[in-house]
Structure 1
């Protein structure tokens, strides 16, 4: 075993108390569990009776942050779209000037097309950003769930190996 006592685990996590175990350190702790002495791991896990609440709070905070990001992004996207729409209205008004040459009208048509393309690029970029953000949130939520499974599964495994092992290894013939 790489970690035979609580002190070595705390040093590896760079904490001086289990109360200082942050969200990112919980994931690291879960990854370290296979290298821990079973009794030490069980003793540490027993100090986390509120882990389920911690995981639920973490997911709730991520959901709240996601909602706020979506809302802020929607407002920003609407502002950009409105600005491009205003520019196109102004350019369309300029096209009504009878004194414009064909070249000037072509230039305005080009500007109209350019604003439409930039408006679309902004939309596509926003969608990519949101997709990336959602993927990151999914990863964090997945890791939180994984950490919970490791905690619960590790505890069950330790309890099973500590004496309540079933006889499923034998095969009746």
Structure 2
């Protein structure tokens, strides 16, 4: 074990007291747990009854960021859709003029088709973006849950170790 006492762990985290443990340092603490003496790790974790709240807050922060991104994305998509529609409306009005040559009509039709292609391309990009966002949210939520499991798992392992030692003492 690399860390044998609380003082070594505090020093490694760069804190003076456990009250100074930020969310970032909480994550570092969780990552350090395999290198800690089990007894020491459990004593420290017991000082954090709010760990469940930390995990919930982390998931909530991920959800808020995701919702904000989705909202901004939706507004951007609506803007692109509206702009393409306005361009097509203008082109359609031009196309309805009686004195157009075949080349002018062909050009206007091609421009209408081009706006449709642009719109489809933006839609495809948006779907890829949303897929990536969903994956990031899933990874973030999984990480928060994994931290919770690490803390709870460490406690259960230590308690079962204590129970095993008690049964040998009898």
Q: TM-score range by the shorter chain?
A: 0.7 to 0.9
Cα distance, 1:49 vs structure 2:
0.5
* Cα RMSD after superposing both structures: 2.1
TM-score (norm 2): 0.86
TM-aligned CA distance change 1:76 to 1:2, over 3 Å: same
Q: Which residue is 1:41 aligned to?
A: 41
Alpha-carbon separation, structure 2, partners of 1:101 and 1:121? 30
Deviation per CA, 1:99-119, whole angstroms, max 9, x where unpaired?
A: 222222222111111111111
Decide which structure has greater helix share. Answer: 2
Where structure 2 has 5 or more consecutive residues not aligned to the other structure, the ranges are: none
Pairing 1:150–2:150 present = yes
Q: Which residue is 2:138 aligned to?
A: 138
Number of equivalenced pairs: 166
Q: Which residue is 1:122 aligned to?
A: 122
Where structure 1 has 5 or more consecutive residues not aligned to the other structure, the ranges are: 168-173
Aligned to 1:98, the other structure's residue is in SS state: coil
TM-aligned CA distance change 1:68 to 1:116, over 3 Å: same
Aligned to 1:73, the other structure's residue is in SS state: helix
Q: Which residue is 1:105 aligned to?
A: 105
TM-aligned CA distance change 1:65 to 1:17, over 3 Å: same
Structure 1 segments of 4 or more deviating over 4 A?
A: none
Q: Which residue is 2:164 aligned to?
A: 165
TM-aligned CA distance change 1:107 to 1:15, over 3 Å: farther
Q: Is the 8 A contact 1:27 1:143 kept in 2?
A: no
Q: Is the 8 A contact 1:3 1:37 kept in 2?
A: yes
